[in-house]
Amino acid sequence: MASTNKTETLGLNQWIGSDKPKMEDFNSDNRLIDTAVAGHRADQTVHVSAQERAAWNAAAPVIGSYTGDGQEERLITLGFQPRFGMVFAVDKNLVGMASQAGDMINYSACVAAQGGSAGAYIEETGFTVMQLVAATNRSVPNLNAKGVTYVYIMFR
């Protein structure tokens, strides 16, 4: 005998102590579940397509690091042209005082397709960082100091 009560959504059996379930009751519930799951799986409007998944994954930011080599300019190759990103030195303040004249040492920078902070800029396959000793516009980019570890996050 079918159950006294049924679930609200699929109408599955909900037996009480006085009910006497039969094998067909279980088989009927299994068919209801199978039909509901099959319908859900076939409904492409509720699932992410392979194309959508690839687009979302491609948009994921790339996080990495490099150790400065002291060169005045250095290309960090990513294999794509970032639209926006940030880079900073590990265990350093984002900026520091370079001189009594008020020049600032930049241990961090932001880059964007429209422009960016002093000392870093976007390239076709990544971004370039600068390591200078003299201030330009009161800023001394310090983004490739020898032996210093830098972390970056870049968005496609």
Q: Which residue has the tokens 């990103």?
A: 85
Residue 88: its pLDDT value, please? 96
Tens digit of each residue's pLDDT (9 = 90 or more) over 107-139 = 999 999 898 888 899 999 999 999 987 777 777
Give the helix/strand (H/E) hosting 55.
Answer: helix 50-58
Q: Give the model's confidence band at 99: pLDDT under 50 very low, under 70 low, under 90 confident, else very high.
A: low
Residue 102 or 63, more confident: 63
